[in-house]
Amino acid sequence: MPIIVDVRGLACPHPVILAKKAIAENEEVTVLVDNEIAVENIRRLAAKTACGFSVTEREGGVREIALVRTGAAGQPPADTDAEAVPSCGVASEKETRPIVVVLSDNHMGRGDDVLGDVLIRTFIHTLAQLKPLPATIICYNAGVKLAVKDSPVLDDFQQLAQAGVDILVCGTCVNYFGLGDQIAAGRISNMYDIAETMAGTARLLRP
Partner 1 sequence: MEAQKFMVFLFPSVSYTLKAEKIIKEKGVAYKVIPVPRHISSDCGVCLRVAVEQQGLAAEALQGLVTWERMVLL
Answer for the pair 124, 108: CB distance below 8 angstroms, yes or no.
no
Q: Does 14 bind partner 1 (CB under 8 A)?
A: no
Q: Does 118 bind partner 1 (CB under 8 A)?
A: yes
Residues of span 154-173 touching partner 1 by CB under 8 A: 155
Q: Beta strand pairing status for 166-170 and 63-69?
A: unpaired
Report how far residue 170's alpha carbon sits from residue 134's, in angstroms, rounded to the nearest whole number: 18
Q: C-beta of 152: minimal distance to partner 1 in Å? A: 7
Question: At residue 46, what are phi and psi to the nearest 5 degrees?
Answer: -65, -45
Q: C-beta of 203: minimal distance to partner 1 in Å? A: 22
Report how far residue 3's alpha carbon sits from residue 28's, in angstroms, rounded to the nearest whole number: 7
Q: What single DSSP character describes residue 57?
A: E
Size of the site for partner 1 (CB under 8 A): 9
Q: Does 125 bind partner 1 (CB under 8 A)?
A: yes
Q: C-beta of 167: minimal distance to partner 1 in Å? A: 19
For the chain, counts of helices (H) and of strands (E): 7, 9
Report how far residue 45's alpha carbon sits from residue 20's, in angstroms, rounded to the nearest whole number: 7
Q: C-beta of 206: minimal distance to partner 1 in Å? A: 18
Q: Does 25 bind partner 1 (CB under 8 A)?
A: no
Q: Does 63 bind partner 1 (CB under 8 A)?
A: no
Q: Does 122 bind partner 1 (CB under 8 A)?
A: yes
Binding site for partner 1 (CB under 8 A): 114-115, 118, 121-122, 125-126, 152, 155
